Amino acid sequence: MEKPSTLTAATSPIKTPKTQEELEEAKLIRRLQLMMNLVMQTIAQDSSLSVDDASQMIADSRNAALAMFPGKELAYDLIWKPRFQRLMRERFRIM
């Protein structure tokens, strides 16, 4: 006898994009994640980077993110801004 499937949010399969629009959005999201991770790693690891240079990188990455996803300022402010603020505090001892 076969058991009924009991999937929870933690065990459910990841929804794969089906339409061309969903595929494009998934591609943009992945590109954004890669870009933000690259900026964060550069700031964290480049010892020759100044506070001004790091701040400019963050500003440029924000502009690029908003160019990719227009009108998503709130999402950026909720997701990426706190991460960059924490990184700047840790890296440059900024309060």
Q: Which one-letter amino acid corresponds to residue 7?
A: L
pLDDT at 7: 52
pLDDT at 26: 92
- The residues near 86 (Cβ < 8 Å, ≥ 6 apart) are none
Find the length of the chain.
95
pLDDT at 94: 78
Q: Residue 63 burial by CB count (10 A; 0-12/13-18/19+): exposed, middle or buried? A: exposed
Residue 11 DSSP SS3 = coil
Spatial contact of 40 and 83, defined as CB atoms under 8 Å apart: yes
pLDDT at 91: 94
pLDDT at 40: 97
pLDDT at 39: 97
Which residue reads 């950026």 in tokens? 76
Below-50 pLDDT ranges, the chain? none
Tokens for 13, please give them. Answer: 């399969």
The helix (run of H) or strand (run of E) holding residue 61 is: helix 51-68
Q: pLDDT, tens digit, for every residue of 36-46?
A: 999 999 999 99
